[in-house]
Amino acid sequence: MKHTGHLAAIGLIIIVSLALPAAAGDSDAVEFMGVTYPSPTAYAQSEAFQAFGMRCGTLPPDFYPEIPLDAPADCTMSSTNPDPIYDPGPVYEIPVVVHIITADDGVTGDLTDQMVQSQIDVLNEDYLAIAGTAGGDGTYTGLRWVLATEDPDGNPTTGITRTANSNWFNDNDEQGFKTALMWDPNRYLNFYTNNTQYLGYSWFPQWGVGGWNDGIVIYYRAFGRPTSFPPYHLGRTATHEVGHWVGLLHTFEGGCGNPALPYCYTTADRICDTEPDQTAHYYCTPGTNCGSYRIPIENYMEYTNDACMTLFTVEQMRRIRCSLTSYRPNVYTVIDSTLFADGFESGDVSAWSAAVP
């Protein structure tokens, strides 16, 4: 299945042609809707890239029905109750598997293990708000990401798989490649890297977990840090898409909404401490919208450049942890946060293990 994301969701019948060629640099031409751009970066800075929402292909929250739960949740698709009970206590550690899909040659689209680890590092910097990093001024969520060390059958693993398939590399047959490659989505976060026409697309837990579509696809040139794809070269595409995977909506979802309490918990992004946001914003240009409200260019759930994304808000953090405990209770292990006192917050499992008595 070709993932058509926002294009299908808004009812446009458009054939999107995007071919991102083989070389590892940023000198390859990109064809998109009949226009040739000299490089992926030129494409990413084009009006067409913005007009068709290619920053993120995650479908709108009302695209699929919400699954019922045995008990009411504080973080449904329609509302948020940011109860302080969701404030971080123990660390939630989540195992990650990265499925690298290359072209048939096994080279085009490949990523080094070091590049994969750099993406895990970025996720931890952003979700743990590690001091001295770009995410250090954000809100600590208490979520820690590690490459899986054990596969679903209990065998040792690096948490990285590689598959050569040009059809899958070009993001065709989404159901096929996810079904073939996925590890139990109830127990792992599955990343797939390929030549997707979007920078990434994800799945909300409120739609149900454990199915073939429960995972995150990332354009291979936007995965890790630093890549050859400015301004999306610092790993924040994954931070953004993981935000959806843990229940967050775009800051501009539904436009300005009603910023007054309590209506801001049931309109727009269902969060009250994010500024009202009328539409997607690119680049890092400050400004106002929805009257006199500041544009949240630093929020990970906007569409701005990687360099200006630095934070989640407190209420976004509470919705994240609510979504995990309510919808993904089997994907994380509870870790005593005091184990990180020596600063082993990165995804380097060997370094972290060395600190355990």
User: Which DSSP string do the residues of 255-271 spell out, in sequence order?
Assistant: TT---STTGGGTSTTS-
Tokens in use for 175? 């159901």
Please give the single-letter amino acid code of residue 73: A
The DSSP H or E segment spanning 44 is helix 40-44
Nearest partner of 205 among 143, 248, 176, 148, judged by Cα: 248
**Longest CA span, the chain:** 60
Per the document, the length of the chain is 357
From CA 293, how far away is CA 202, in angstroms rounded?
28
Which of these is catalytic: 125, 241, 275, 302? 241
For residue 87, the tally of other CB atoms under 10 A from its CB is 14
- In our burial notation (b when 16+ CB lie closer than 10 A, e otherwise), range 217-250 reads bbbbbbbbbebebbbbbbbbbbbbbbbbbbbbbb
Burial class (CB in 10 A: 0-12, 13-18, 19+), 156: exposed
From CA 163, how far away is CA 178, in angstroms rounded?
12
Please give the single-letter amino acid code of residue 230: P
Tokens in use for 65? 């029905």
From CA 13, how far away is CA 175, in angstroms rounded?
21
Respond yes or no: is residue 241 known to be catalytic: yes
Helix, strand, coil proportions of the chain in percent (round to 5)? 25, 15, 60
The DSSP H or E segment spanning 47 is helix 47-51
Nearest partner of 215 among 231, 196, 232, 234, judged by Cα: 196
The DSSP H or E segment spanning 97 is strand 91-102
The catalytic site residues sit at 241
